[in-house]
Structure 1
Amino acid sequence: MLVLSLMLVATLLAACGGDGGNATSSNPTTITVWGMGTEGDNLKVLASDFMKKNPDIHVQVQAIPWSNAHQKFLTSIAGNQTPDVAQMGTTWMSEFARADAFDPTPGNIASSQFFKSAWDTTVVNGTSYGVPWYVETRVLFYRTDMAQKAGITAPPQTWDELLADAKAMQQKGGAKYGIALSSNDWEEFIPFVWQSGGQLVQGDKFTLNTPHVVDALDYYRSFYQAGVTPQTQPQGFDVAQSFVQGQSAMFISGPWEVGLVQQDGGTSIAGKWAVAPLPKKLTSTSFLGGANMVVFKNSQHREAAWKFVQYASQPDVQVKWYNTVKDLPAVQAAWNDKALAEDKNLAVFHKQLDDAKGPPVITTWEQVATVIDNDMEQVMFGKMTSQQAANDMQQKATAIGMGS
């Protein structure tokens, strides 16, 4: 009787087995992977390659629009209907980790293989959840032909040079505007805070009213005061087209703009533009974006799920993913690939990734970011001083809090 009972328990455990240990190519373990945007649309390529190498695991991909992804994750967590694996926005990591939704990253995944700043986006309260999947950062795009016409022989290295070059390319280089800046984009603004030596949070407190933040707002505002950037940008403004058409001589953006500039400009702009690391005050720190890949805690197939995540983190797979969707690899060894290493534009992004930061990993960051957007716009339009805006950011952010 005891033997029969043990056999029954073993059978039940096998049926519920979270890791699909008895899976075969004829009876594979099935895992579900959610992806958003372009990544979600192309994840089947990655899944197909994985399944060829792992016939005992079947991957079902579900593409989700970014616009309703957050709500879909909330609903799936509340109903215990999460996928096994998902692409995860870095600003959502804290919220869902604190909801106990994620499986901690296994100890056999080495953090050192990833860019440190990217790995840091997976860490909540000292524990890593998931791995960086791809990264992006922002650099300076500039028209070399307009710079040459204005007597400029190298990209700007400092804050003072950036403003001076913007003026020169407007006055002498033929551009309508020396640089195109957004009046309400925290991702574009906060690197100037870091470059000035500031932080956004320290410990459990916001630090949005420090002299560093005021300094960054003053500097950003100086481009508006000098008239070298558009005072407003119409809805649907295409900065790549503005750049190609010579209306804006410089702008700050990410790697996706490289293809857009090449596409919009074609041969007419070839050899007339370049990218460079962001100019420096104390540092030249840029914004770090991208997405992570996480495994959900209530997955019944965590071993298979982590196997998929680890596959996506292999250097050669990261290179193939770059060639598929142009996402920059989060794994440092992938940058040794010839196709990436010999691309002069990618070399600039690679260099910038060594000095890039993500936003604070706190539950309420998106709410705080909206406050920053609104207040920086008030400064650019002259409706608030930089100090008033910094004080308002600090007060409202403190009232919002950092979440539980």
Structure 2
Amino acid sequence: MRRRLPALVCVSASLLSGCGLLPGDAERSTVTVWLMRHSASQEYLDRFTEEFEREHPALDLDIRVQEWTGIGEKVQKALESDEEDGPDVIEVGNTQVATYAEGDGLLDLTLESLRDWGRDDWLPGLAEPGRWGSQQYGIPWYAANRVVIYRKDLFRQAGVAAPPKTRDEWLDLTEKLDAGGNQGVYLAGQDWYTLAGFIWEEGGELAEERDGVWRGTLDGPAALRGMDFYRRLQALGDGPVDADEEHPPQADVFARGEVAQIVAVPGLARAILKQNPGLADELGYFPVPGRTAGKPGAVFTGGSDLVVPAKTDTREGAVEVVAALTGARWNTDLARTMNYVPNKAGLAESVAGEEGVAAMAAGAARGRATPGTPQWAAVEADNPIKEYMTEVLTGADPATAAERAARRITEALAFD
């Protein structure tokens, strides 16, 4: 969108007859790219820009870093605008793609993703929410998901030799850790992203589309089993039943107290160590366990996709940028630089040397995203899942509470 610059400026008719372009000259285009703050280091962006422009001599990159606060409204405005300096490539949260695609604001990248970019190999938690209908609009860039961060010293004190391989083992060792006078696990009562993983692991869903209509499904048998596992695990610690993982921040609790485990992204370790540097050699990581050994549990996958506005007039250049950033070379470079999970399970070896990221990558292979409807934002705005969780953890009948929460989700999803 936007600017096109002649590769050669006519300085004198006597030097360049008729001011014609010499052989090999080409029109230059600027590709404007919006990326979010902290998604990539400045050093990475500088290096990428230099090499991309060298490999694409007819393209210039204009990378503009955006803030997450208020980004939804800003992106919507850009998609509807004809401004010449608008973005040609935009980084968006993986669960936001449907919202932008619904209004025909995004370029359909299905052919490119099938032909050249290996769509079948992408992490499902990034690829699935990048689709709207049968078209691929969001191209997976990077992922992050929850793992279990644990205290190696507290495991040793309790006689726990190794991380668990199954959910049953996880409950058993957490009970053992809890019996030693520490909190076996700190799990806030309203950590609904963690609950979602347990529900998916049981084969349940938060909501499903049937005959074109979305309905809440927390009251299904599998979803109820997921909530029951959450209840049993949460009871082996002192996490508040009426608050989420940020109230208080679980990193603070873990750093200050004798807490053996938390469920969080590995990056949270930085906040823990800032408050308690003495734990530097005692932090360990393992994937959230699944029901069977050798298969990590399902987890919510967060992260970012790259999209191209439908109104771009530098389509080919925008596609080249997306292809480069999401391709194996630069995607693995980003993962190593920022401790992310690459966009394909086959690239996980690139982060195998870092324990926390390796655990995250193992879990990402079974990652999921929230239901793929633009109306899901209405559910999260007045989240009935959190209220449901607190009700169950304080003794309410799970089936009754789940039915009420599912009905509220259905109502929110029907709002247009």
Task: Give yes or no for TM over 0.5.
Answer: yes
The answer on whether the counterparts of 2:188 and 2:234 sit within 8 Å (CA) in structure 1 is no
1:96 aligns with 2:107: no
1:60 to 1:249, Cα distance in 2 relative to 1, 3 A:
same
SS of 2:69's partner is: helix
Aligned partner of 1:58 in structure 2 is: 60
Aligned partner of 2:353 in structure 1 is: 342
Aligned partner of 2:224 in structure 1 is: 214
Deviation at residue 217 of structure 1 after TM alignment: 2.1
Aligned partner of 2:156 in structure 1 is: 148
After the TM superposition, which of the residue ranges 276-285 and 94-103 deviates more from structure 2? 276-285
For residues 322-354 of structure 1, give each alpha carbon's deviation from its aligned partner in whole angstroms, at most 9, with x where no partner exists: 3433332114454343xx233333332222122
How do 1:318-333 residues align onto structure 2 when only pairs under 5 Å count? 318-333=331-346
SS of 1:156's partner is: coil
Aligned partner of 1:137 in structure 2 is: 145
Aligned partner of 1:195 in structure 2 is: 201
The answer on whether the counterparts of 2:29 and 2:317 sit within 8 Å (CA) in structure 1 is yes
Aligned partner of 1:401 in structure 2 is: 413
Aligned partner of 1:10 in structure 2 is: none
Deviation at residue 187 of structure 1 after TM alignment: 1.3
Q: Which amino acid aligns with 1:394?
A: A
1:178 aligns with 2:177: no
For residues 278-311 of structure 1, give each alpha carbon's deviation from its aligned partner in whole angstroms, at most 9, with x where no partner exists: 1223672111111100111110101000100111
Distance in 2 separating the partners of 1:265 and 1:148: 19
Gaps of 5+ in 2: 9-24
The answer on whether the counterparts of 1:19 and 1:301 sit within 8 Å (CA) in structure 2 is no
Deviation at residue 373 of structure 1 after TM alignment: 3.9
Aligned partner of 1:11 in structure 2 is: none
Aligned partner of 1:77 in structure 2 is: 79
1:392 aligns with 2:404: yes
Aligned length: 383
1:355 aligns with 2:355: no
Aligned partner of 1:37 in structure 2 is: 37
Match of 2:168 among 157, 160, 163: 160
Deviation at residue 252 of structure 1 after TM alignment: 0.8
For residues 175-232 of structure 1, give each alpha carbon's deviation from its aligned partner in whole angstroms, at most 9, with x where no partner exists: 2x22121222321210010122212333334322102222222332234545543446
How do 1:269-308 residues align onto structure 2 when only pairs under 5 Å count? 269-281=279-291, 284-308=297-321
1:378 aligns with 2:390: yes
Deviation at residue 257 of structure 1 after TM alignment: 2.2
TM-score by length of 2: 0.81
SS of 1:190's partner is: helix
Q: Which amino acid aligns with 2:32?
A: T
Deviation at residue 112 of structure 1 after TM alignment: 3.3
TM-score by length of 1: 0.84
Distance in 2 separating the partners of 1:281 and 1:402: 34
The answer on whether the counterparts of 1:19 and 1:302 sit within 8 Å (CA) in structure 2 is no
Gaps of 5+ in 1: 1-15
The answer on whether the counterparts of 1:92 and 1:363 sit within 8 Å (CA) in structure 2 is yes
Distance in 2 separating the partners of 1:264 and 1:113: 39
Distance in 1 separating the partners of 2:159 and 2:45: 50
Q: Which amino acid aligns with 2:60?
A: H
Deviation at residue 30 of structure 1 after TM alignment: 1.0
1:178 to 1:313, Cα distance in 2 relative to 1, 3 A:
same
For residues 115-149 of structure 1, give each alpha carbon's deviation from its aligned partner in whole angstroms, at most 9, with x where no partner exists: 24422221111111131000112111111221221
The answer on whether the counterparts of 2:189 and 2:240 sit within 8 Å (CA) in structure 1 is no
Deviation at residue 371 of structure 1 after TM alignment: 2.5
After the TM superposition, which of the residue ranges 378-387 and 321-330 deviates more from structure 2? 378-387
Deviation at residue 151 of structure 1 after TM alignment: 2.1
Distance in 1 separating the partners of 2:137 and 2:346: 21
1:219 to 1:115, Cα distance in 2 relative to 1, 3 A:
closer
Distance in 1 separating the partners of 2:241 and 2:173: 18
